[in-house]
Amino acid sequence: MAALIARTRRGADPRPHRAGKARAGLLRALAGGAAAALALAACTPGGDARTAQPGPSGDGVLRIGLLLDNEGESAYLNDAQLAAVVLAVQEANAAGGHAGKPVELLDAEPSADTGAAARRLVEAGADVVIGPTDSSRAPAAIDVLAHAKVTLISPANTSTPLSSYPSSGFYFRTTAAEAAEGAALVELARQSGARSVAVLNQAGSRGKAVADGAKAALGAAGLEDAGSAEFRGHDAAAAALGAQEADAVAVVAHDGGPAILAQLAEAGLSGGRLVLSDGLVGRYGSALAARSLEGARVVVPGVFPSAEFQTAILGQDEDLTDMAFAAEAYDAAALAILAAAVAEDDAGASIASRLTAVSGGDPGTGSPDRTDCTGLPACLELARAGRAVDYEGQSGPVAFDGHGDITTARFMVLRFGADNLPKVDGEVTVAR
């Protein structure tokens, strides 16, 4: 929420060299950047690493790689993710490392060519890789890493088609797929007493995925679909006219907020009737008519990090003022380290086979009762004592499913005031 200070620096061991620039801006939940079509054919090994029971095949050293794929205006997103993974590695090494040896964090250079970056990490001996941020770049990384039997965990991918992208079970993500955001919008409307909802979505793969999730949630909640429609570009006027009778209007868009919201207000759709997707977060102020957004709410994937976690992250990079995806990146690294500890092996196949169980998901193997634990040090202590664990993440419950997706999604809720400016106003959780 605060302005970001631009600065690049090198940190001490085990920090790898990094190049990335923080920049000013409101907290932005950029999970995937521009949507792109995902080719669903890939050359990956057969089987499903998530449910396999492989024997030990590691070399005794757990190596973690990072795909820092953010450039230009989004480059600042690299910094919080890097700091979070460094924190997890430091905590693991303070607790004895893996099998008595330090966990290694491989050098990370920002690159939008995730295929090439993934190949470099494979050559460097990575067992697990954290990233990328952009959903459209995930397939290139999955193709390389799954073929090499290296586990990939993204802290930020939201594209729904990735749930079924061929990865042989080596792909996971610690943030929710887009459909969950649609369900969160409907849950907000339901909590406000709405019995009918119109879902207005901007045309495009992302808008459709969120809208489809919202419409499915409407049916599950027993709410009426009252005038849902798609609009192109920033022209929402016609769609707004068809939503007049709805108790609540869920608006899904990734850009053009001022134009879209102004048209809705002109059509009489404003204020507390509106629930907005994360692409419409903004400090609109005088750019919109006075009080036109008063009472409107917007959801942002994830939750605001706890004060304790923020302090720990700032211990890695004191210049950070934006924590976007920090909690999710920490959870990704912590889960990988924990899975390796439970498997007593550092190989990517062993890590993938234990991730579902340690995350609290159902691996389909009749897991024993598990003990809830929060934070990597506490969970490692329990695991090394022979206890089955259920890791409760800094970003919330994880509980991977059979696709490597989280099954409980948490969203921050921001409410707009009379000044058309948003403030944090709680959170909403959806599960499936």
Q: Looking at the domain assignment, is residue 120 inside a domain?
A: yes
Confidence category of residue 396, pLDDT binned at 50, 70, 90 = confident
* Together in a domain, 203 and 269: yes
* Together in a domain, 138 and 196: no
Mean pLDDT of 281-303: 92
* Together in a domain, 295 and 189: yes
Q: Looking at the domain assignment, is residue 115 inside a domain?
A: yes
Determine the distance from the C-alpha atom of residue 310 to the mean position of all C-alpha atoms in its chain, rounded to a whole number: 17
Q: Looking at the domain assignment, is residue 20 inside a domain?
A: no
More confident residue, 10 or 186: 186
* Together in a domain, 149 and 281: no
* Together in a domain, 321 and 283: no
Which residue, among 82, 22, 81, has the nearest Cα to 328 in the 3D structure? 81
* Together in a domain, 119 and 267: no
pLDDT at 109 over 50: yes
Measure the CA–CA gap between 112 and 15, rounded to whole angstroms.
21
Which residue, among 82, 84, 15, has the nearest Cα to 331 in the 3D structure? 84
Q: Looking at the domain assignment, is residue 90 inside a domain?
A: yes
Q: Looking at the domain assignment, is residue 79 inside a domain?
A: yes
Counts of helices then strands in the chain (DSSP H, E): 11, 16
Measure the CA–CA gap between 300 and 407, rounded to whole angstroms.
17
Helix, strand, coil distribution of the chain in percent, nearest 5: 35, 15, 50
* pLDDT at res. 199: 98
**Percentage of residues in the chain with pLDDT exceeding 70?**
88
pLDDT at 21 over 90: no
* Together in a domain, 189 and 283: yes
* pLDDT at res. 367: 58
Mean pLDDT of 183-196: 96
pLDDT at 42 over 60: no
* Together in a domain, 110 and 157: yes
pLDDT tens-digit readout, 44-98: 566 899 999 999 999 999 999 999 998 887 788 899 999 999 999 999 999 999 9
Please provide the average confidence, as pLDDT, over all residues in the chain. 87
Measure the CA–CA gap between 168 and 162, rounded to whole angstroms.
12
* pLDDT at res. 45: 63
* Together in a domain, 325 and 242: no
| Six token digits for residue 231 | 């609009």
Confidence category of residue 7, pLDDT binned at 50, 70, 90 = very low
**How many domains in the chain?**
2
**CB neighbourhood size of 45 (10 A):** 15
More confident residue, 41 or 306: 306
Confidence category of residue 25, pLDDT binned at 50, 70, 90 = very low
Listing DSSP states for 194-250 in one string gives: -SEEEEEEESSHHHHHHHHHHHHHHHHHT-EE-S-EEE-TT--HHHHHTTTT-SEEE
* pLDDT at res. 362: 84
Per the structure, the complete domain to which residue 122 belongs is given by 63-175+307-364
* Together in a domain, 237 and 333: no
Q: Looking at the domain assignment, is residue 15 inside a domain?
A: no
Q: Looking at the domain assignment, is residue 147 inside a domain?
A: yes
pLDDT tens-digit readout, 235-272: 999 999 999 999 999 999 999 999 999 999 999 999 99
* Together in a domain, 287 and 420: yes
Burial 89-124 (b: 16+ CB within 10 A, else e): bbbbbebebbeeebbbbbebebbeebeebbbbbbee
Q: Looking at the domain assignment, is residue 244 inside a domain?
A: yes
* pLDDT at res. 300: 87
* Together in a domain, 420 and 292: yes
Question: Among the listed ranges 20-34, 174-188, 276-290, 379-393, which one has the minimum average pLDDT value?
Answer: 20-34
pLDDT tens-digit readout, 368-387: 689 999 889 999 999 999 99
pLDDT at 12 over 50: no
CATH number of the CATH domain containing 104: 3.40.50.2300
With tokens 């890939």, the residue in question is: 42
Confidence category of residue 8, pLDDT binned at 50, 70, 90 = very low
* pLDDT at res. 368: 66
Measure the CA–CA gap between 258 and 268, rounded to whole angstroms.
15
Confidence (pTM): 0.83
Question: Among the listed ranges 76-85, 161-170, 299-308, 409-418, which one has the minimum average pLDDT value?
Answer: 299-308
